[in-house]
Amino acid sequence: MGNFKVWNTLTGRPPLTGIKDADVVYFDDTDLSYEAEDAVIRRAAVQFAGIPLPVEVRNQARVHLWFPQRFGFAYPQLSCSADMMLNFASKTHAVAVRLEADERLHIAAPFGLDDIFAFRVTPNVTLPNREAHERKSERAKAVWPELTIVLWPD
């Protein structure tokens, strides 16, 4: 969502243009059950009830358990929620913001922010995510024709 907000601001589009949902992630490896994650999802639904788009809440400690069945290839077990960004299909989307206790924002961008400000979507070949990169790139290009899409290497 972060790069979409930047592109909307830089191109003068309404703030939520092209944004399907908001992702909220956390890391709790003390209980990897679906039931524990679902309890957090239900509590978050109450907190985010007034937001004008869906909010997806996911425990990054358990993604490796369901990812292969859903996407058809293995996903590494993570040691913290920030590590999820290392596996995104596109480096450009690997940006997260955390609200700190002192109300400051912490921005994590393991591949940097250059792609966002250059209106460029760059693949991340860490996992075999070609299909996701191409699908998300096509969708983004339809909303922001200013984008340059870097093709998945052969």
First to last CA, the chain: 28
Q: How confident is the model at residue 65 (pLDDT cuts 50, 70, 90)?
A: very high
- Write out pLDDT tens, residues 78-124: 999 999 999 999 999 999 999 999 999 999 999 999 999 999 999 99
Alpha-carbon Rg for the chain in angstroms: 16
* pLDDT for position 3: 86
H helix count then E strand count, the chain = 5, 6
The mean pLDDT of the chain is 95
Pairing mode, if any, of strands 55-59 and 22-26? Answer: parallel
The conformation of residue 85, written as its DSSP 8-state character, comes to: G
- Write out pLDDT tens, residues 103-113: 999 999 999 99
* pLDDT for position 2: 74
Extract the tokens encoding 133.
């990169």
Rounded CA-CA distance 34/69 in Å is 15
- Write out pLDDT tens, residues 122-145: 999 999 999 999 999 999 999 999
Give the 3-state secondary structure percentages of the chain, helix then strand then coil, rounded to 5.
40, 15, 45
Rounded CA-CA distance 60/45 in Å is 18
* pLDDT for position 1: 62
* Burial bucket for residue 122 (CB in 10 Å: 0-12, 13-18, 19+): buried
